[in-house]
Chain A
Amino acid sequence: MTERSLAAPPRLLGTRLTRRIRSLGGLLASLALTFLGLLCITFLIGRIIPIDPALAIVGDRAPAHVYERVREELGLNLPLWQQFFIYVGQVLRGDFGTSVLTGRPVLEDIARVFPATLELATLGILIGVIFGVPMGVVAAVHRDRWPDQLVRVIGLVGYSVPIFWLGLVGLLVFYAKLGWVGGSGRLDFFHEGIAPSVTGMILIDAAIAGEWDVFRNALHHIVLPAALLGYFSLAYISRMTRSLMLEQLNQEYITTARVKGVSEARVIWVHALRNILVPLITVVALSYASLLEGSVLTETVFAWPGLGRYLTNALLAADMAAVLGATIVVGLVFVGVNLLSDLLYRLVDPRAR
Chain B
Amino acid sequence: MLKTVFTSTALATALLLSPALQAATPSDALVQASRFDDIISLDPAEMYEISTFEVATNAYDKLVAYDLDDTSKIVPQLAESWEVSEDGKTFTFTLRDDVTFHSGNAFTAEDVVYTFARLAALDVGPSFLIHDLGITPDNHEDVLKAVNERTFEMTLSEAFAPSFVLNVLSGGNFSIVDSALLEEQAIEGDWGNGWLKNNTAGSGPFQLDQMVPNDRIIMSRFDDYWDGAAELGRLMWRHVEEPATQRLLLEQGDVDVARNLLADQLEPLRAEGTLQFVEATLGTQLYMGLNVSHEPLDDVRVRQALKYLVDYEGMVETFMRDAWIVNQTFLPQGMLGHVDSEPFSYDPERAKELLAEAGYEDGFSLSINVATNQERMDTAQAVQASFASAGIELEILPSDSRTALTTYRAREHDIYLGTWGIDYFDPNTNAVFVANEDNSPEAAANPLTWRNAWQEEELTERVKDLALERDEAARDEGYQALIEEWQEVSPFIMLFQQVAIAAVRPEVEGFRLAPTNDGNRHHRVSKD
Contact = CB atoms under 8 A, between A and B. Distances in A.
Query: Do chains A and B directly touch (beta carbons under 8 Å) in the complex?
Result: yes
Interface of A: 49-52, 55-66, 69, 100-104, 109, 112, 127, 131, 154, 157-158, 160-161, 166, 169-171, 174-176, 179-185, 188-190, 192-193, 213, 216-217, 219-220, 223-224, 227-228, 230-231, 234, 303, 305, 313, 316-318
B72 interface: no
Contacts of A55: 402, 405-406, 409
For B26, B123, B214, B240, the residue with the greatest tally of chain A CB atoms inside 10 Å of its CB is B214
Interface string B244-282: 010011001011000000000000000000000000000
B455 to A, nearest CB: 17
For A57, A102, A219, A313, the residue with the greatest tally of chain B CB atoms inside 10 Å of its CB is A102
SS class, residues of chain A in contact with chain B: helix
A170 B238 contact: no
A57 B124 CA distance: 9
B20 A180 contact: yes
Contact of A223 (B16, B124, B197): B16
A219 B13 CA distance: 9
Given A52-B406, A158-B1, A216-B18, A193 B210 contact: yes
Contacts of B426: none
A223 B13 contact: yes
A183 B245 contact: yes
For B5, B20, B23, B406, the residue with the greatest tally of chain A CB atoms inside 10 Å of its CB is B5
Contacts of A62: 124-126, 128
A220 B20 contact: yes
Contacts of A169: 2
B314 interface: no
B26 A56 contact: no
A61 B126 contact: yes
11 contacts: A59-B48, A59-B49, A64-B445, A154-B1, A170-B9, A179-B20, A213-B21, A216-B21, A223-B13, A305-B214, A305-B215
Contacts, number: 174
B123 A104 contact: no
B40 interface: yes
A100 B40 contact: yes
A205 to B, nearest CB: 15
Contacts of A223: 9, 12-13, 16-17
A52 B198 CA distance: 24
Contacts of B128: 61-63
Contacts of A66: 123-125, 127
B248 A189 contact: no
B287 to A, nearest CB: 14
Given A102-B214, A231-B8, 9 more contacts: A51-B403, A59-B126, A60-B48, A61-B423, A102-B40, A166-B1, A180-B9, A220-B21, A305-B215
B400 interface: yes
Q: Which 7 residue pairs of A and B lie closest in terms of their CB atoms, listed nearest first?
A: A102-B213, A62-B125, A59-B48, A157-B1, A59-B125, A58-B125, A64-B444
B218 interface: yes
